[in-house]
Amino acid sequence: MKLLNKIFSLGQGLLGLKKGSRNFLAIFPILVLLLATSCSKHEKKTGDKPLIYTSFYPVHDLTQMIGGDTVRVESFMPLDKDPHIWEPSPKDMKKLASCDLLVVNGANMEPWLDTVKENLPNLDILKLSDSVDLITYKGAAAIGDFQYLARIDIEAGKNKIDFGHTHEDMMRVAFIKDEGLEQKDLVKKAKDIMSQKGELVHQKSTNKVEEGKVYGVEMGHESGEVYFDFPDKGKWIFISDRISEDLLPYSFVDGKGNFLKDEGKEVSLMEGSSSGFDKITYDPHSWISIVNAKKYLNAIQEKLIEKYPKNERI
């Protein structure tokens, strides 16, 4: 029972998964593998132990599994904080100066990592994501740019955008009535509109559509939905600062629950950066697979052997 509880706790730490959920069951074998690795290690008491800081809970747990009693493993980020929004204080940064190694996930999971490198250029850092093949996707376009332009045939009243799990903080969207502009003129108009930062709108909220106004849809690392109340029925142009992708999915849904694309009422006019430059972002959860989990563990083991060869046989 204790082993099962620890597996569940690790699942919560990784992705906030609920016991019995489909996603938890999908990665259950990985969690068993990680804990089995931990249980198979021989423990040995040591005197002075090297100090290793880890970025957040899952990385801390993996490092502790491999290091066992040969090292002292501390979490750089407090365990009750969200790794997507936490920022270290000057006091936190000072702690790193005395450690032997910092182990991080990488792949944009730790936005403060560049600051650490600037302030502590000699600190040894192990980035676990370097050991796996990362999944990439196009991130949000810059202000004054957009990634997606579409013509939508919409009913007056409340419609919604459904979006999935994402690491973007915000998705910026705007709507204008379709006036039959040529492509180049439409792109110019859309870019002018998207030069606005946008009004922040929260999940589950209903927002009256104002033509040419930018709405910053709050994402917050969760799936959700936001409603838009259109004043008129007809053809509109939908502008978004990002493309819907497998890792960052979103869909336009009408008041009857029908997906506009499925009904032929959403026609893509342009996909890709309007400036010709696509910002590439990495999915920090790319390692959630048996193969990649082993690579994370191997990377930690190899690094510890490199730094502390006397402990290799322990």
20: left (phi over 0), alpha (psi -120 to 50) or beta: left
Q: Which residues contact 50 (CB under 8 A, 6 or more apart)?
A: 70, 71, 72, 100, 101, 307, 308
Provide the pLDDT for residue 123: 95
Band of residue 294 on the pLDDT scale cut at 50, 70, 90: confident
Contacts 24+ apart (CB under 8 A), 18-25: none
- The DSSP element (H or E) to which 300 belongs, if any, is helix 290-307
Q: Is the pLDDT of residue 295 over 60?
A: yes
Band of residue 221 on the pLDDT scale cut at 50, 70, 90: low
Provide the pLDDT for residue 203: 87
Q: Kindly state the percentage of the chain with pLDDT values over 90.
A: 46
Provide the pLDDT for residue 285: 58
Query: DSSP secondary-structure letter at 131?
Result: G
Provide the pLDDT for residue 246: 67
Mean per-residue pLDDT over the chain, rounded? 80
Question: Please, what are the domains in the chain?
Answer: 51-135+285-307 (3.40.50.1980), 137-281 (no CATH)
Q: Which residue has tokens 């702690």? A: 95
Query: DSSP secondary-structure letter at 259?
Result: B
Q: Is the pLDDT of residue 191 over 70?
A: yes
Each residue's pLDDT tens digit, 162-179: 987 666 678 899 999 999
Q: Which residue has tokens 């991130």? A: 139
Q: Kindly state the percentage of the chain with pLDDT values over 70.
A: 72
Q: Is the pLDDT of residue 299 over 90?
A: yes
Q: Which of 140 and 238 is assigned the larger pLDDT?
A: 238
* CA neighbor of 64 nearest in space, from 48, 52, 76: 52
Provide the pLDDT for residue 13: 46
- B/e letters for 222-243, b = 16+ CB within 10 Å, e = fewer, are eebebbbebeeeeebbbbbbbb
For 32, counting Cβ atoms within 10 Å of its Cβ (0-12 exposed, 13-18 middle, 19+ buried), the class is middle
Q: Which residue has tokens 């903080």? A: 169
